[in-house]
Amino acid sequence: MSALTRSLAALAADLDDGLITARGLAEEAIANHEIQGEPLHAYLTWTPTRARKAADAADAAFAAGMRAGPLQGIPVSLKDLFAAKGFPTFAGSNRRLPPAWEEDGPVVASIRRQLGIFMGKTHMVEFAFGGTGQNHHWGAPRNPWDKGVHRSPGGSSSGAGVSLLEGSALLALGSDTAGSVRIPAAMTGTVGLKITLGRWSAAGVVPLSPTFDTPGFLARSVADAAYAFAAIDPAAPRIPSPDIAGLRIGIGDPHLWGECDPGIAEGAKAALDALGAKGAVLREGLLPEAKDAYQVFLAGGFSAIELRNFLDQNLPAWLGELDPVIAPLVMNAEKLPAREYLARLDRMKGLAPPARARFDSFDVIASPTVCITPPPISEAEDADGHWRINRRLVRNTVGVNYLGLCAVTLPVALDCAGMPVGLQFIAAPHAEERLLAVALAAERVLGTARERLGAAPLAAA
């Protein structure tokens, strides 16, 4: 059995006991990428030599009896908008960003202090503006669940989930402004965590919309996600794994459950029914503010104008070279009146308190994470196709960001096209520990992605 198929906690214990080495894990991850990497296209910057050196340093620390942290010796991929010393940052654009974007931010610095192994920088939608994965500068990664058709891997963290499935990383850093962690996690059959705005610093992460940007990550299982969250978050206690019996799960919101492609709502509901059979309390749980927030997104949201401001102030030369799928909205953002932008912000401030109050009666509110089957990437090649698909992709995710909530997605089924279905649990602000505890209990009943869905056709063995 491959060492990389085991949980992060089990690998960390074996590293600590000297039963395996960080260099051995890194070599296996490198070999997986070299076998799978060309067709899957997960990385913009692939750094095996640097990874080997970091692994040797982690092994030397183990040999000296030094334990730097829970992620010591663990292979990690970085979305290409995380600044990291020694790595170029492009943020999905066609040119390297200035040196200021090559210094560790707090999240990256935490993993580096723990002697985690950075494998490279994964592909993304340019400046994280969109959920399809399309990028005309560098190409889109391939979703490993379809051998015959190049389907969307989700975005904007488009290479993150792919890096996990190809076995070149065991944890993948991403960012989430309207769903950019949860969408690729759902579409690749992995786990994605969107934390509460402000819980982790976004310093050192190239901004899309600072009003809503949050760092986050994708993992292979909820157990791995809970382990990584506790490792990165200094305030996080050990996440318990309660029994599913008695946990209160809200279901059935018509906005969050409607207009799904065949097999998606059915797969999510079947998973919830399995939890109910084990004692979870399933009751109607409405979150009407999510629909209202989505209407603000459809009206233009916040990302285009806030990205335009960042580019105007920091990277004006990039404006004329933007990917054609995002260029029209970014260029037209200058026409947005300040009063309309401020009215949208006020609308979100008004919706957030009643949304938070919904969780007085529930531990989580559940929904499908993404309501569409991952489309062929060819359907998102032009701006019209990209944004038509994007509007459906973010329907169930953007409200979490706009309302200041936190959420996790876990894989629970395959849809009628044989593509992964994500089940989203939404929780109150700063309730990540409770959110992950519910997800752990659910995973214990439902099984991991490999146990419930089987292996992706193009995934590492």
**Is the domain covering 3-453 a CATH 3.90.1300.10 domain?**
yes
pLDDT for res 321 = 97
pLDDT for res 39 = 83
pLDDT profile of the chain (461 residues), mean per 10: 86 97 98 83 98 98 97 98 98 98 98 98 98 98 96 98 97 98 98 97 98 98 96 82 93 97 98 98 98 98 98 98 97 97 98 98 98 98 95 98 98 98 98 96 96 92 69
Distance, CA of 54 to CA of 56 (rounded, Å): 5
What's the distance, CA 31 to chain centroid? 24
- The C-alpha angle with vertex 379 and arms to 370 and 307, in degrees rounded to 5, equals 70
Structural domain boundaries of the chain? Answer: 3-453
Taking the complete model, does pTM exceed 0.85, yes or no?
yes
List, in sequence order, every beta strand (DSSP E) within 177-276: 191-194, 214-219, 248-251
Residues carrying an active site annotation: 79, 156, 180
pLDDT for res 370 = 98
Counting every residue written for the chain, the total comes to 461
pLDDT for res 24 = 98
Q: Estimate the crossing angle of helix 222-232 against helix 432-446, to 10 degrees.
A: 160
CB 393 within 8 A of CB 370: yes
pLDDT for res 37 = 61
Distance, CA of 174 to CA of 158 (rounded, Å): 9
Identify which of 451, 421, 154 has the alpha carbon closest to the alpha carbon of residue 271: 421
pLDDT for res 186 = 98
Identify which of 290, 325, 319 has the alpha carbon closest to the alpha carbon of residue 396: 290
pLDDT for res 90 = 98
Structure tokens at 198: 């402000």
